[in-house]
Amino acid sequence: MLEQQLFNALSLGSVYALFALGFTLVFGVLGVVNLSHGAVFMVGAYAALQAVLKLNLPLAGALAVAFAASGLLGLLIDVLVLRPLRARNAPHLIPMIATIGLAIALNSLAQGIFGAENLRFPAEVLPQQTLNIAGLHVTMLELGIIALSFGLMAVLLLVLRGTQLGRALRAIAESPKAAALLGINVGGLFMLTSFVAAGLGGVAGVLIGLYANALFPLMGQPILHKGIAVIILGGMGDIRGAMIGGLFLGFAEVLTVAYISSDFRDAVAFGLLFLILLVKPSGMFGKVLERKA
């Protein structure tokens, strides 16, 4: 019984991890808590749906569209909203408040345009087969979600750890001023990070839309809240923390639904959040060091 939930938990957890990854990337590199990440997630899902319905694209194409659409949105947010605030040296809370405004505006626009009802991906687009792995019943969809999420995370890790670009990003995360002095194109990398992080968020949106078989304008909000819990759990700005935290949450939620009650599913994230805030506010992998200017 428990094993049956394994792939379920893995797929949910991996998407949480993917979402949290984008979120923590922006926090680590740009130093901003981007509360519009949930809206961007939602935009990706809707973009993919439109791609399937209007452009007749297969799922792979729709995912690419989602990545691009969300990524572009993330980029615009950086250029139009975050950059002017950076130029003004606004205290931390201000960009966060601005992203709250963005989230509200985007969510409402989506509701105005697409309506509040749940929408679905047409069944033909979804992979239908089920497999039998080690005696467990696994759907192709779950496998696909897991593969894509882990794949993207692996690529991201590779870039961050093993390339010049990754080193530059980590330098910026330590201290943007110092990085600029080293000749790193900080502004350009801010834009790139915003694009990629949002793109990943958009892909996560499609995956959750597929997993839950539902899209609705406010779908990004619960995920955003859980993403917050995840990155605090894992340590804000820490990539490993986001991934492990996301997986952890996925498992915790699935187990809670299976063994306690589905009513409390959404509360699990916050229960964990509270626990970690009381015990170790910097999170599992968080450092107590403050980011220098």
Partner 1 sequence: MTMMEWWDGFWATYNTVIFSVGVNAMLALSIYVTLSCGLLSLANAAFMGIGAYVASLITMQAGLPFPVALAAGGILPALVALVIGIPTLRLSGVYLAMATLGFGEVVRVVVLNMEITGGPMGLNGVPPITEWWHIVLLLGVTIYFLARVRRSKIGRAFEAIKEDEVAARLMGVNVAGYKLLAFVIGAAIAGVAGALNAHYTFTIGPNNYGFENAVDILTMAVFGGTSNLIGPMIGSTILSLLPEVLRHFKDFRLAANGLILILVVLYLPKGIWDPRRIRAFMQRRNAAQTASKKVN
User: Which residues contact partner 1 by CB under 8 A?
Assistant: 33, 81, 84-85, 88, 90-94, 96-98, 100-109, 111-112, 221, 225, 228-229, 232, 236, 263-264, 266-267, 269-271, 273-274, 277-278, 281
Cα-to-chain-centroid distance, residue 60: 19
Name which of 53 and 218 has its Cβ closer to partner 1.
218
Tokens of 243: 């991934």
146/224 with CB nearer partner 1? 224
**H helices then E strands: how many in the chain?**
12, 2
Q: Name the residue nearer to partner 1 (CB basis): 134 or 278.
A: 278
Closest contact distance (angstroms) between CB of 107 and partner 1 is 7
CB of 132 to partner 1, least distance (A): 37
- What is the closest distance, in whole angstroms, from the C-beta atom of residue 172 to partner 1 in the complex? 18
The smaller minimum CB distance to partner 1, of residues 101 and 151, is found at 101
Q: Which is nearer to partner 1, 10 or 224 (CB)?
A: 224
CB of 221 to partner 1, least distance (A): 7
Residues paired with residue 133 on neighbouring β-strands, in sequence order? 136
Of the candidates 220, 219, 241, the one whose C-alpha atom is nearest the C-alpha of residue 231 is 241
Least distance between partner 1 and beta carbon 239 (Å): 18
Distance CA 62, CA 56 (A): 9
Angstrom distances, CA of residue 73 to CA of 46, 135, 236: 13, 43, 23
Which stretches does DSSP call E strand in the chain?
A: 130-133, 136-139
- State the nearest-atom distance from the C-beta of 266 to partner 1, in Å: 6
State the virtual CA torsion across 266, 267, 270, 275 in degrees, nearest 10.
Answer: -140
Please report where in the chains the tokens 């019984």 appear, as a residue.
1
Least separation in angstroms between CB 197 and partner 1: 17
Tokens of 162: 């093993």
Residue 262 Cα distances to 122, 198, 283, angstroms:
27, 30, 26
Coil/strand/helix, residue 201: helix
Residue with smaller CB distance to partner 1, 26 or 63: 26
Closest CA to 197 of 67, 63, 15, 14: 67
CA torsion through residues 199, 201, 205, 210, sign = positive
Residue whose CB is less far from partner 1, 6 or 258: 258
